[in-house]
Structure 1
Amino acid sequence: MEPEDRLTFGIPKWFEHVASGHKAAREEVVLIDQSSFSKFEVTGPGALSFLNHVAAGNMDRPVGATTYTQLCNNRGGIEADIIVSRVAENRFFIVTGTAFRVHDFMWLNLTIRNASRFTFRFARRRWYYLAQCSPPWPDESGRLRSWVQPERDHRANACGGSG
């Protein structure tokens, strides 16, 4: 396919390529590298309380669980869509949109009440984020884990799955 985009009210040239990727994500297993997304860490004994205060979802999930939730302001409006993974008892990994790094970081900093009980910071650059898009798919064979595990500093086993 030529790398061009012609405006049309009909079906564009790239339609079948996008459709096959969409079909694969709905019926098979697709990994999407979303490492460009913004990443934060919240650590310390007050981390869970802080996240439960700002997030619409319940962050008190088992270690390894990943939760899609929103950050809400005092009026109930949505400030951000985030993904939160509980990587240890008092340690959480947050993923948000690439373009929202500064907004979400600043908004979260403005909501901090008692920062003496936790630390909130940008995640180190060594983290990467692979999104598994699929119907419910238990990795009983370990195929996915065996494919990514050799990477240095890999954290997928700690950040969860579909939990």
Structure 2
Amino acid sequence: MNAIMWMGVAGIVGTALSPWITERLRSKTARREQLVKLRLAIYAELLRATARLATTATTSAASHPNDAGQIGGDEFDSLLGQARVVASEDVYRRLNELSQLTEMFNQHLVEAEPRPVFPHRQHLHDGAVNGPLRLQHRKTLTDIAGGIAVAHGRVQDAIRHEMNR
């Protein structure tokens, strides 16, 4: 077979495969764009949730033990689950750190809550809300709340870095 015949065969094959190759590249690009849009939507929700988490932690750490409530919850857990599917490794690692700090905060919050006291023993517990152990728990809560705010900033930086690539 001569070169002209091979060029003709290559032209026919190229013409036949061209639409298939073009469609394959287009669908791959469309999937990539869809993933980026999904990541962006989840990241926006995560940033809102982590900002609320940091604010709530700071407020709860500074408030009276009776008024403080646990942070995080089902919404944050749901967002973490979604992020596990689409987030980059760096963003997910930062979110994991934030989740661990949230759990630690909630554990210390339970320890800092005043326990119910029987009326006949009330005189022994007067001022116990500001006792040394309770103050230590409140300080620990404040430190963890600061760590949560820092972790929120790290999540934000990781997302910004990923989106600017």
- Shorter-chain TM-score category? under 0.3
Q: Which structure dedicates a bigger proportion of its chain to helix?
A: 2
What TM-score do the two structures reach when normalised by structure 1? 0.22
Larger radius of gyration between Structure 1 and Structure 2? 2
What TM-score do the two structures reach when normalised by structure 2? 0.22
Q: Which structure dedicates a bigger proportion of its chain to strand?
A: 1
